[in-house]
Amino acid sequence: MALFKGAGVAMVTPMKENEDINFEKIEELVEYHIANGTDALIVCGTTGEPSTQTVEEHMEAVGCAIQAAKKRIPVIAGCGSNNTRTSEYTSRKCQEMGADGLLMVTPYYNKATQKGLIEHFTRLAKGVDLPIILYNVPGRTGVNMLPETAVTLGKTCENIVAIKEASGNISQIAKLASLLQDDPCLDIYSGNDDQIAPIMALGGIGVISVLSNVAPQKTHDIAAAFLNGNMAEGAKLQLEAIELIEALFCEVNPIPVKTAMNMMGFEVGPLRSPLCTMDPKNEERLRKALINYGIKLVK
């Protein structure tokens, strides 16, 4: 059974002005997403700025979301690291806290070989009972998980159940889908908001989305259309969102999405250095895209 189908939000981590994590705001955002169609909460993935959090902060943020969600929708905890031992520790802690699943990015900076990736993820899978979503985002990590590697992990590790594909390479994702035809050991989630339609057309079951932070119901609706067999409607909704999606990625994620949420009045606070405020021209572009998409702004 799939961990979730539809649109999971890659949640921002709200901060106070002094850059401490705002746990009350996490609770508010959880309620907002549950009320507005989000199908799963992905906490402390890339959008949640885990690379500038201590392990203790990371675990507190995950625990806060788990407690707030109260099992109403799945909470999937980002536990990826370029240190296998760190990932082992955080994975066990998230399991103890009651997470429903884990999102594990390929080790960044180290640039592991495909053999190294298999050994890394196999070791992590053996350490927990929770379902694991692999996360392939070579533009940020410097390493690309090949389709054959992902399928090997899906076949050999019972609790590796899905992959978030953010390579941007539709040909590679098509290859992955073709390898899964005879043995569908992995579900595929789009990791890019501008590719929900093509990936779901290839058999994907949803998206782990940045767009969902600002338009949860509409993002849910894109995925739901495909899940309900209405590909034409899903494609139409996807195309309507392209201008905003492009604006949300005109600077490195999560700079634009946190800026957008602050424009909308969510008060998610600043970014932690080395991320910084947006260039004014890009900020104006983002503002126009939000308005054009029908989103009300208060700032």
- The structure tokens listed for 113 are 């070989």
Alpha helices (H) along the chain: 23-35, 55-69, 84-97, 114-126, 138-141, 147-156, 170-179, 196-201, 216-227, 231-240, 242-248, 255-263, 280-292
> Largest alpha-carbon pair distance within the chain?
52
Per the residue annotation, which of 25, 93, 164, 258 is the catalytic one? 164
Q: Is 218 a catalytic residue?
A: no
Sequence-ordered list of residues with C-beta below 8 angstroms from that of 152, at least 6 positions apart, any chain: 118
Q: Is 111 a catalytic residue?
A: no
Per the residue annotation, which of 5, 135, 189, 293 is the catalytic one? 135
Number of residues that this document lists for the chain: 299
H or E element in which residue 206 lies: strand 206-209
Q: Which own/partner pairs from 166-172 qualify as long-range (CB within 8 Å, at least 24 positions apart)?
A: 166/135, 166/136, 166/137, 166/139, 166/190, 166/191, 166/192, 167/136, 167/137, 167/138, 167/139, 167/191, 168/139, 168/192, 168/195, 170/195, 170/198, 170/199, 170/202, 172/144, 172/146, 172/147
Residue indicated by tokens 């490195």? 252
Residues marked active site are found at 135, 164
